[in-house]
Amino acid sequence: MGCLVDGLKLLDVRINNHTLLGSSTTLTCIYDLEGETLYSVKWYKDGDEFFRYLPKSKPEIQVFEQKGIHIDIDKSNSNEVVLDSLQLSSSGSYRCEVSAEAPSFQTVAQERDMLTVALPESPQISGLQSEYIVGEIVNANCTLNHALPLQPQLVWYINNKKIFFVRNP
């Protein structure tokens, strides 16, 4: 779905909704100048500019420091910005803004949200014995660390059957 302003079209902004802590991702801005000359492509996170592409400037790419943003400049251009070493603070609302050259200076923009998550480490189970007698009470603990922003829901199974239990307060 595109946005149309007197010729300049922003056809799509592609951003992964969910990304993994420590990984990289590509932000893509697809536009059609419709005969206009490109003046700039700017990227914002939560309203603050962090990347600017100006084809008539030297250098063409300008980067503005922002928490959670690490740009691979060699892989970034007028259509794509590659973010490396994602952090939890990389989460936010990203906007691509494309502007045409004078005299029109038409500008179009689209915004998308991205959430960076940390997957949990392998669960740590403690308190289990190697064997139980039918009817014996099982008291065990399962711990997951480093799952952010939300803790996952844990489900217990015995012999491939889901079990329900009472948590200690």
Distance CA 100, CA 102 (A): 7
Residue 41's beta-bridge partner residues?
Answer: 53, 98
Per-residue pLDDT of the chain (169 residues; tens, 9 = 90+): 444 445 789 899 999 999 999 999 999 999 999 888 999 999 999 999 999 999 999 999 999 999 999 999 999 999 999 999 999 999 999 999 999 988 888 999 999 999 998 877 777 788 888 888 888 887 887 777 666 666 666 777 777 888 765 555 4
DSSP 118: B
CB-CB contact of 142 with 149 (8 Å): no
The pTM is what? 0.74
142 lies in the same domain as 112: no
73 lies in the same domain as 57: yes
62 lies in the same domain as 143: no
50 lies in the same domain as 113: yes
Distance CA 116, CA 84 (A): 12
Nearest in space to 98 (alpha carbons), one of 88, 90, 109: 109
11 lies in the same domain as 50: yes
28 lies in the same domain as 103: yes
Residue 97's beta-bridge partner residues?
Answer: 42, 109
Distance CA 139, CA 128 (A): 7
94 lies in the same domain as 12: yes
Nearest in space to 84 (alpha carbons), one of 73, 100, 99, 97: 73
Which pair of tokens denotes residue 61? 């790419």
CATH of the domain at 31: 2.60.40.10
Domain of 157, in residue numbers = 118-169
